[in-house]
Chain A
């Protein structure tokens, strides 16, 4: 179980990816981090298709860290696709982006994002933000059961 993916990090900037992973590792939060460099890769992973077709829906990531400005399919589209499918609907998503453009914030919440965080320029603030996000969603928060969404489970029961 130890090599199950805990965080899906969707970001096209290798530097941001490196700095984010470094911050997560230094606060000893997540070991298994999957990186997707564009929206298509992220959706392939989440929906177990393409290069991830051997993966199972029964082991969803505990958290998706989603950048907005992505090649091919942007972050909001990824979010929309996730929320539209009962198998990925309940997975916690935190938008982690450079901009805090109001219309993006509004769109993000309308599409059902769990949190919206602007990446701070300051290194220490950045590290602290990543640490707190990881801490809350990986350790404090109760993750939804894997597979079907919590809602459809409740209806089935």
Chain B
């Protein structure tokens, strides 16, 4: 998903969440409004009940005044009691509304005055007899006056409640209407955004499918190329095999028959003829070595590294011992330092030492006192092995050619060689993930340096192309 499409999705989600929150809030408000409506109706009902209570008390009192019978005092008293309860309830119901509380405070003295009048009439009838009672009923003008005020007050309160109710209902319906607009518009917007988003996803999917298709094609091309390469590799292997078998046989015959000729007819031949025959035999011999070297070079390319922790020290000492034995007639000062241990293919690294030290022995051949030094040093946190000699050396401008196949920096007349040894060394070092380089000065010897980096994990799966490249250069 691209950042823009993520933003679009987030936007739509935000709108939907907001609509949800608004709906919830509006629902809560509606609930409150409904509670208020109920409350108002309860208050109105209670006000009604209070009027009835007073009327009941009045009726009971009037009955007593006229008859003097105690039984009429019961409804009177019940009315008063009910009135007290209803007033208390009204106070409770309006406790959170100061305006209503104020109205009740205004109602209270009126009711108290009317009740006092009623009980005063009863006292008069009790102590002064029927006449006084009748007079009290007949001239009870003040009763009418109080009752009128009470009714007015209650009516006022009822109207105030009605107004409150209608204003609350108005607010509620307005907010519901607004809410409806918000919900409808918001949902429409969210749907629109999601549609746009869907369109974007559709187009992105199209692009992605196209990219995947391209990638698939690229992979197929790569696989084809890989299989072509491995075919080339197999061809190369069979080429190497036929070089080994088919080329070596005629060479062996050349060397063999010229030697047979020398053995059988040598004595009858002139010295020049013998020399020429020997040259043929030597040439065949030399070409045999070239073929063998080339084969071992290509073999290293195909070989899988057999890695193990190896003490380079002991490997080196073996090689030096063998070499020193071979050149026992010479004055060579071997200076062998301490070397580190490394994870490497010990057979191949031994080959590296053999080739480098044989070179050192060879190129110090014209020194009366040869010095060959092997040791380790450090460069950029990397451990480096060096092989130094005081031999012929070479000019640094040709250093680039040093490791090429069949590349030689010396005349065959001066120093023999096939020009494959250092190419083999370089291939082994590279296969181990290391580097090799050299420093030299003509007449003052040469120093070869190499590192053993991280060895190839799966060398077998990597097509070895350099063999054919190098063979081409030849």
Q: Which 4 A-B pairs have the closest CB atoms?
A: A121-B288, A123-B259, A15-B253, A99-B244
CB within 8 Å for A122 and B245 given contacts A16-B252, A22-B260, A98-B252:
no
**Minimal beta-carbon separation of B124 from chain A (angstroms):** 142
- CB proximity to B under 8 Å, residues A2-45: 13, 15-16, 19, 22
Contact B259 A69 (CB under 8 A): no
**Minimal beta-carbon separation of A103 from chain B (angstroms):** 9
Contact A123 B255 (CB under 8 A): yes
What secondary structure prevails in chain B residues at the interface with A? helix
Interface string of B285-305 (1 = CB under 8 A from A): 101110110000001000000
Other contacts beyond A69-B245, A121-B248, A123-B281: 4, CB < 8 A:
A13-B249, A15-B257, A99-B245, A99-B248
**Minimal beta-carbon separation of A64 from chain B (angstroms):** 20
CB within 8 Å for A121 and B245 given contacts A19-B256, A19-B260, A98-B252:
no
For chain A, the bracket of interface size reads 10 to 19
**Which residues of B sit under 8 angstroms from A121, Cβ to Cβ?**
248, 251-252, 255, 284-285, 287-289, 291-292
Closest to B246 in A: A98
**Minimal beta-carbon separation of B301 from chain A (angstroms):** 14
**Which residues of B sit under 8 angstroms from A100, Cβ to Cβ?**
244
Q: For chains A and B in complex, what number of residue pairs have CB atoms within 8 angstroms? A: 62
Contact A123 B244 (CB under 8 A): no
Q: Is A119 an interface position by the 8 A CB rule? A: yes
Contact A122 B288 (CB under 8 A): yes
**Minimal beta-carbon separation of B12 from chain A (angstroms):** 66
Q: Please report the C-alpha to C-alpha distance between residue A99 and residue B244 in the assembled complex, in whole angstroms.
A: 6
Q: Please report the C-alpha to C-alpha distance between residue A100 and residue B299 in the assembled complex, in whole angstroms.
A: 11
- CB proximity to B under 8 Å, residues A102-157: 102, 119-124, 126
- CB proximity to B under 8 Å, residues A57-105: 69, 97-102
Closest to B260 in A: A22
CB within 8 Å for A119 and B241 given contacts A15-B257, A19-B260, A22-B260:
no
Contact B245 A126 (CB under 8 A): no
**Which residues of B sit under 8 angstroms from A120, Cβ to Cβ?**
252
**Minimal beta-carbon separation of A137 from chain B (angstroms):** 22
| 8 Å CB contact of A99 from B241, B252, B258, B284 | B241
**Minimal beta-carbon separation of B446 from chain A (angstroms):** 30
Q: Please report the C-alpha to C-alpha distance between residue A22 and residue B259 in the assembled complex, in whole angstroms.
A: 12
Contact A19 B253 (CB under 8 A): yes
Q: Please report the C-alpha to C-alpha distance between residue A98 and residue B288 in the assembled complex, in whole angstroms.
A: 11
Closest to B258 in A: A123
Q: Please report the C-alpha to C-alpha distance between residue A29 and residue B429 in the assembled complex, in whole angstroms.
A: 46
| 8 Å CB contact of B241 from A13, A15, A19, A101 | A101
Contact A122 B285 (CB under 8 A): yes
**Which residues of A sit under 8 angstroms from B257, Cβ to Cβ?**
15, 19
**Which residues of B sit under 8 angstroms from A19, Cβ to Cβ?**
252-253, 256-257, 260
Contact A98 B248 (CB under 8 A): yes
Interface string of B233-253 (1 = CB under 8 A from A): 000000001001110110111
21 contacts between A and B (CB under 8 A): A13-B253, A15-B256, A15-B257, A16-B252, A19-B252, A19-B260, A69-B245, A98-B244, A98-B246, A98-B248, A98-B249, A98-B252, A99-B244, A100-B244, A102-B299, A120-B252, A121-B255, A121-B284, A121-B291, A126-B255, A126-B256
